[in-house]
Amino acid sequence: MTELLPTGLDAFESAPCGYVVVDARGIVARANEEFLRLLDAPAGDVIGLRTFSSLVSTGGQILLETHVRPILDHAGVVREIAVELVRADGGRVPVLLNARVVSTDPRTVLVVLVETRDRHRYEDYLVAAKHAAERASQDAAAMAVTLQQTLIPPEPPVVPHLEIAAAYRPAGSGREVGGDFYDVFQVAPDAWAVVLGDVSGKGIQAAVITSFVRHTVRSVAIAHPDPSDLLHALDEAMRSHGSEHHCTLVAARLEWEDPGWSIALALAGHPPALIRASDGRITELGVPGTPAGLMSDPQFHTVRHKLGEETVTLFTDGVTEARGSSGELFGDARLLELLAGLPGDPHDIVASVVSATLTWQSDDASDDIAVVSFAAR
C-alpha cells in the first residue's frame, strides 16, 4: 500500500495517532511525531531512554503491570485501554491505547494511542451522572420507606363496647408506597368513624393523595354525620385539588345507642362491607356508589343497620383481586367461604384474611391489602 502514499511520506511517522515500538526492556525504541506531540517532548528525551510505562500516570502503571501486560502475554493483543500520559510539566493527556506483540524473541510490542480529551470529559460526566443516579435511587428508596412509615395506619384506638381489628400489608417488597389505607377515629361522644379506602395508582403521587384523603376525611367527618354527605365533601375536595387520582372508599359511622351499635354506611366505588352472622351466614351491607374524585355527578347512598351478634368486615381489592400462580383471582366467593368458616372474632378474621390472601399469591402481594373488622362486645 506504500505506493499510494505521496513520495517521501512514511506511514509510521505520519500516522494520525501516537505510534510506538516498545522493546524487550520496555523502552520506547521508536515513536512517531504524533506521540511526541501528545507528550510535548523532543524525541531525544524519550526514544531509547524512557520505558513506556514511565510515561503514564502511576495508577496507569499499576494497571499496565497487573492487568494489561498479562493479557498481552496471553492473547497477544489488548484494546481500548484508557490511561493518562504524563508530560514533563506534569500535565496529563488522556489516551486510549491498543497494543500488539509482534515478536516474542526479542519481545517487541506495537502501541497506538489516540487522545481522548473530549471523550474523557464526557466519561467524567457519565461517571459523575452514574454516581448521582445511584445516590438518587438510594435516596428515593429511603424516602419511600420513610413516607410509607408515615402512611401505615396506626393500630385502631380502643373503642368502648367495640372489638376492632385492622391490618395493612404493602404490596411486593414493601418498598413501594401504596394507596390503601384505613382510619378509625372519634367524631362525637358516642360516635366513631371507620373508613377504609384505596387510592388509584402507586408511588409518591398516590401516596400524597392517600395522605390528602385521610386528612380530608378526618376534617369533614365531624361536620357531616351522614356518610354519603362525608363522601360528597371528600369528592368535592378531591376534584378541586385537581389531582388525576381518584379513590374508592367505604365510610361508616358507628353510633352507640345503648345497648347496641347502629351503623350508617356509604360506598364510593368500593365493595360492600360483609356482615357475618353468628351462624356463619354472610350478607352484604352498602349500596354501590361512584368512586370519589372521578365523576362530575357523583352518587352516594347511606344505608343503616343495627349491629347484632355479627362481625362487619371491610376490605380493599388487594384481597379479592389477588392472583394465584395460575393467574386465578382470589375472588369474592373464596372470601365469603373463608369468612363463613371462621369464628366471629375480628382479630381472627383480619389475620386469616391477610394470610389467606398472601398464601394465595405465594407471599408476593401484587397490590396493597387492607382489612378492618369489628363486632360489638
Residues 9, 37, 40, 59: which binds other proteins (CB under 8 A)? 59
84 binds other proteins (CB under 8 A): yes
| Contact track, other proteins, 274-313, x by CB under 8 A | ----------------------------------------
* Rounded-to-integer distance, Cα 161 and Cα 163, Å: 7
Nearer to other proteins, 51 or 320 (CB): 51
60 binds other proteins (CB under 8 A): yes
Cell output for 149: 412509615
- Find the shortest distance in angstroms from Cβ 312 to other proteins: 51
- Phi, psi torsion values for 369, nearest 5 degrees: -130, 125
Residues 17, 71, 336, 351: which binds other proteins (CB under 8 A)? 71
Contact 192, 162 (CB under 8 A): yes
70 binds other proteins (CB under 8 A): yes
Q: Specify the stretch interacting with other proteins by CB under 8 A; choose among 54-62, 142-150, 296-304, 339-347.
A: 54-62
58 binds other proteins (CB under 8 A): yes
Direct distance between the N- and C-terminal alpha carbons of the chain, in angstroms, rounded to an integer: 100
Give the sign of the dihedral formed by CA 315, CA 270, CA 292, CA 243. positive
Cell output for 119: 471523550
Can you give the three-state secondary structure of 289-328, one letter per residue? CCCECCCCCCCCCEEEEEECCEEEEEECHHHHCCECCCCC
- Find the shortest distance in angstroms from Cβ 152 to other proteins: 31
Angle, alpha carbons 221-194-343 (nearest 5°): 170
67 binds other proteins (CB under 8 A): yes
75 binds other proteins (CB under 8 A): yes
Nearer to other proteins, 70 or 260 (CB): 70
82 binds other proteins (CB under 8 A): yes
- Phi, psi torsion values for 47, nearest 5 degrees: -65, 125
In a 10 Å sphere around its CB, with 0-12 CB exposed, 13-18 middle and 19+ buried, how is residue 66 labelled?
exposed
Cell output for 6: 505521496
Residues 43, 63, 294, 329: which binds other proteins (CB under 8 A)? 63
Angle, alpha carbons 151-357-145 (nearest 5°): 25
The size of the interface with other proteins (CB under 8 A), counted in residues, is 31
In a 10 Å sphere around its CB, with 0-12 CB exposed, 13-18 middle and 19+ buried, how is residue 244 labelled?
exposed
66 binds other proteins (CB under 8 A): yes
Nearer to other proteins, 63 or 338 (CB): 63
- Find the shortest distance in angstroms from Cβ 16 to other proteins: 22
| Contact track, other proteins, 99-128, x by CB under 8 A | ------------------------x--xx-
83 binds other proteins (CB under 8 A): yes
* Rounded-to-integer distance, Cα 43 and Cα 33, Å: 9
| Contact track, other proteins, 5-34, x by CB under 8 A | --------------------xx--------
Nearer to other proteins, 123 or 321 (CB): 123
Contact 194, 184 (CB under 8 A): yes
Residues 6+ apart with CB under 8 A from 144: 175, 176, 177, 204
Nearer to other proteins, 40 or 123 (CB): 123
- Find the shortest distance in angstroms from Cβ 91 to other proteins: 14
**Other CB atoms within 10 Å distance of the CB of residue 288:** 13
- Find the shortest distance in angstroms from Cβ 144 to other proteins: 24
Residues near other proteins (CB under 8 A) are 25-26, 51, 53-54, 57-63, 65-67, 69-71, 73-75, 77-78, 80-84, 123, 126-127
